[in-house]
Amino acid sequence: MPKSREPQRVRIEDVAEWAGVSIATVSRVLNKTGRVTEETAELVREAVEELGYVPHAAARGLASRKTNTLGIIFPEIAGLFFSALLRGIEAYVAENGYQPLLYSTQGKKLSRHNPLPLNEGNCDGLIIFTDSLDESYLRQLHERGFPMVILHRTPPEGVNIPCITFENKQGARQMMEHLLGVHGYRRIAFLGAEGVEDSTWRELGYREALAAYDVSFGLIGNGKFLEPAARHVVQGWLADGIVPEAIFAADDESARGAIAAIQESGRTVPQEIAVVGFDDTLLAQYWSPPLTTVRAPIEEAGRAAAAQLIRLIRTGQADPLTLLPTELIIRRSCGCPVRNSGR
């Protein structure tokens, strides 16, 4: 049985033949490398158009050892945080002639034994988002000289991979100042995510502020940065008769969970328990009550990561640490009176 018509791929050779030139010339026209008479160039372009030629990315990458692609490693694809980050990356990357290639580890931790599908073969550099690669693997990649930047995670010791993160501690500190200083709350609980570095820093800000105000009350729950988990934790507290004056959720999703748990218990936010968050995603301004939170410039972080990576690829240099400032967004859930919608 004859194989069903295998649609012939158009190759550079076909273009060359059509235009009556050599493949080298075609390549030169396409890549604008080397000089070619305008006449010939036009002829080649016509051939490309006529035949519908599209260069084969893999072949090109193999031959030139560049892919013009940046790999982006995410632990999972979810939520607005991710969207915003990606938007920032994408915008910057596109402006600079690269295309982003995404890979999500879906919770699996990658190591040398379970290596990344993204490597020199298909991208020129990597943006690594949080904790998805184990330390020795990260180190190995880095030693190979593969350009990488890390988002929201300090690189392992001795490995100087550029890092982009928020002023987490500082932001948390500010929020706590507001809760402690303006509202006078003392019994403030913290809802973090164990093992997530952002959360750890925010927690540190929380602790420091508490210490600064000489408050001995401290309550820390693991809301895993997920609404259901956070809701569950707070339900547990309330059931056990532990009723803080305020809950500082280390991200907006946890805040959402906390509010749900409190409201389900028949209590009101912020009158009985205030709740504040971190990130300012999730349309938090539309919640009831509108959420007081710390705005993290997520999109900006994406842009910064892309910028550092491209710089690293091109010049071999990049800033070891980029710290992005956060901003306190006061709405209603902390107990403040209406002022502005925080738009």
Partner DNA sequence: GGTAAAAATGTAAGCGCTTACATTCTAGCT
Partner DNA sequence: AGCTAGAATGTAAGCGCTTACATTTTTACC
Residues lying near a second copy in the complex (CB under 8 A) are found at 4-7, 9, 49, 52, 54-62, 67, 76-80, 82-83, 86-87, 90-91, 94, 99-104, 106, 112-113, 115-117, 119-122, 140, 143-145, 256, 260, 282-283, 286-288, 316
Q: Tell which residue, 338, 313, 320, has the closest CA to residue 69.
A: 313
- Show the binding pattern over residues 7-26: x = contacts DNA (CB under 7 A), - = does not: --x-xxx------xxxxxxx
Q: Is 42 in the site for DNA (CB under 7 A)?
A: no
Q: Tell which residue, 98, 62, 102, 65, has the closest CA to residue 86.
A: 102
Q: How far is the CB of 60 from DNA (least distance, A)?
A: 4
Q: Which helix (H) or strand (E) holds 248?
A: strand 246-249
Specify the residue, 164 or 260, whose C-beta has the smaller distance to a second copy: 260
Distance CA 284, CA 342 (A): 10
Distance between start and end Cα atoms, the chain? 66
Structure tokens at 321: 């640490």
Q: How far is the CB of 104 from DNA (least distance, A)?
A: 24
Binding-residue total with DNA (CB under 7 A): 31
Structure tokens at 243: 């009723």
Specify the residue, 39 or 240, whose C-beta has the smaller distance to DNA: 39
**Which range of residues in 51-59, 127-135, 261-269, 290-298 is near DNA by CB under 7 A?**
51-59
Q: How far is the CB of 68 from a second copy (least distance, A)?
A: 8
Q: How far is the CB of 214 from a second copy (least distance, A)?
A: 36
Distance CA 42, CA 204 (A): 63
Burial of 305 (0-12, 13-18, 19+ CB in 10 A): buried
Per the CB < 8 A criterion, the answer to whether 271 and 259 are in contact is no
| Chain residues that interact with DNA, rule: CB under 7 A | 9, 11-13, 20-28, 30-31, 33-37, 39-40, 53, 55-56, 59-60, 62-65
